[in-house]
Chain A
């Protein structure tokens, strides 16, 4: 197992370099340098001051040198300072929001798994039945539904019309005064709608995938053998077919990571959740380039780690992969 993990980790290195290179190129597409952006707002900045700033940022050096210097700093998680008035280090700003985004995305993954797998399995057991057709319709809705619209509809219904659920932030204003259980309840209420919205799109894909994978396995010879042995239908489906059909789900989960992280920009800004997505949206609006670049790198690194995790868990459950 360890050689496999080490090999995967080594393969991540060129990917990481590639990610930083793309991010660096994207930000340097910008017309004008950060110095101009900071000084055009400020009439007091003399030419002398501009020159000093440019030297500070290393902008007087060739691009390749700039990239190398930036890369060595990024390797130490030093993304520079945010342009926003608080001037805090980019990594500090991202760090305090990582937890929220990661936990919300893990929660929505959990919901996707818990709901989509039974849906997919059941519709594969009775293809073309009324249930299967209903799931298919749901899947088409899931694929076509703009998440931000779903969010607005849910806010209108559960937040404004029924007034059941809060629609913004992670906690109520008087959160600090709650007892432990009240805190849990308050968090759960705040998190329900955002997690539902984040999970909805993935639900469609996953249940579709599960259905296909299940159908594929049910047609295999070993299922015929199992049935011929006289095993009960439920043993055949849940013990034999399901276990094998579940394998590729791991890969699909890994592949869904970039979509979930990207989607957090939308649901976090709609529900005012203090996570990475909201931070990123703010950074884009304010043209806070160091922060944008930091978020881009961290987002890609998270994806990379998601893929690594998926590969490793696949290898854990399927020995054939380790050998390959």
Chain B
């Protein structure tokens, strides 16, 4: 019943549907990259360096003569991977920390919440950069680091939800039936906390994509020749005066992708709780 209500509201919400369609298109583009990209993204053509957009290269070429459109199409794979893996990790940590804190309360709650406060004290970009300085910059390290520095919001959400639910009858009943703590937390309580977590995870994907592209832009993210939107922009920055297309198109790709996840997240939020829509 509840699920059906959600879908009815979700489908009626223009923002949510726009987001869903846009996210769907992004998925198709990154999965079908080998068929969609007109060229090999790493094909160096030294006779076609820094060409402006034309019929042959719709979005121009980069300083090594590689086709920018193809690199942007393949770059979407990086964004998708980083977005989902790092948010998956963050959500998992946040769920466990929040569930433990909200379920047990007392000193467990106190300690875990101080840990959350502590993590929130670091400018997260500083923390991420410091870890990257220590480890090698690579796509796996980035995913792990973004995940490890962005779980605090989810933890707080889950904790608040658990605190408000743990004394309710259905939990007491399940406990009386002899359910273990573990079962109470993850079978009985967790499903009730999933809606806000879903919203925060969707918005988190957008955030992770922005962070990855910023890191790659600074040269501390995905390393060339693997194309990512951020590292195409690095080449754009070095050729700002002569090749606008190198800076313009990859940035536009980031903007549109991040926006579509934000639309989807806001849409889910409104569908879950219609009161939020003024």
Contact = CB atoms under 8 A, between A and B. Distances in A.
Interface of A: 14-15, 18-19, 22-23, 26-27, 29-30, 127-128, 140-141, 143-149, 152-153, 155-156, 160, 215, 257-259, 261-263, 265-266, 269-270, 280-281, 283-285, 287, 289, 292-293, 295-296, 299-300, 303-304, 307
Contact of A152 (B123, B133, B220, B237): B237
Contacts of A296: 122, 126-127, 130
Contact of B121 (A15, A152, A281, A287): A15
B251 A153 contact: yes
B47 interface: no
Contacts of B210: 144, 146
Contact of A143 (B126, B129, B214, B262): B262
Contacts of A299: 122-123, 126
Interface residues of B, number: 45
Interface in B86-121: 114-115, 117-121
Contacts of B233: 148-149, 152
Nearest to B126: A299
Contacts, number: 143
Interface centre among B121, B217, B256, B263 (most CB of A within 10 A): B121
A28 B237 CA distance: 34
A303 B278 contact: no
B262 A30 contact: no
Given A140-B259, A152-B247, A153-B251, A18 B126 contact: no
Contacts of A140: 259, 262-263
A127 B278 contact: yes
Nearest to B242: A160
B125 interface: yes
A298 B213 CA distance: 25
Interface centre among B118, B119, B126 (most CB of A within 10 A): B126
Interface centre among B206, B219, B236, B247 (most CB of A within 10 A): B247
B121 A303 contact: yes
A259 B123 contact: yes
A156 B247 contact: yes
A273 B220 CA distance: 19
A259 B125 CA distance: 8
A269 B117 CA distance: 29
Nearest to A16: B121
A270 B217 CA distance: 10
Contacts of B126: 261-262, 265, 280, 295-296, 299-300
A299 B124 CA distance: 10
Contacts of A266: 125, 214, 217-218
Contacts of B278: 127-128, 215
A128 B277 CA distance: 11
Contact of A280 (B114, B121, B129): B129
